[in-house]
Amino acid sequence: MELARDAWMNRQAREYIRDEPVVALKAGLTLLGRFWNIVPLTTRERPLTARVRLAIGSYYTLVLAALLAGMIRIARTEWQLAWPLLAIIAAFTLVHAVFWSDMRMRTPLVPAIALLAVQSWRKRGHSP
């Protein structure tokens, strides 16, 4: 029963993507935006004050800026050592471009993000 339902849903999704490629692309970009968002979404049932959202956004801006700087630094020097971290981040990002997503979905990536982010702070000449 579950396999048949999964196959039907897969066919429906493929048909929709084929029939509405622009809408599907926009949906994927929206999911990526939610995955890499720096502030949590709020709802009437779960409101957050502007101050809390600013604090969270400031924190994630610093973390993600350090991640990007670390990725650039690693890419220039020791990418062979960091490719597994980069691959897992890329894999999660791609998966969440088509499946339900919000910033909580990147929780499993926190260790990889931290390891790459710290590379932006290390002294030159020191290996990761």
Alpha carbon distance 99, 127 (integer Å): 36
Confidence (pLDDT) at 127: 53
Confidence (pLDDT) at 109: 94
Alpha carbon distance 14, 101 (integer Å): 19
Residue reference for tokens 């429906």: 12
* Residue ranges of domains in the chain: 2-118
Give the CA dihedral 116, 118, 122, 124, nearest 10 degrees. Answer: 20
How would residue 82 be classed by pLDDT, with cut points 50, 70 and 90? confident
Contacts of the segment 90-93: beta carbons below 8 A, 24+ positions apart = 92/35, 93/32, 93/35, 93/36
Task: Give how far Cα 66 sits from Cα of 14, 24, 55, 86, 122, Å.
Answer: 37, 31, 17, 14, 11
Which tens digit of pLDDT belongs to each residue from 12-26?
A: 989 989 999 999 999
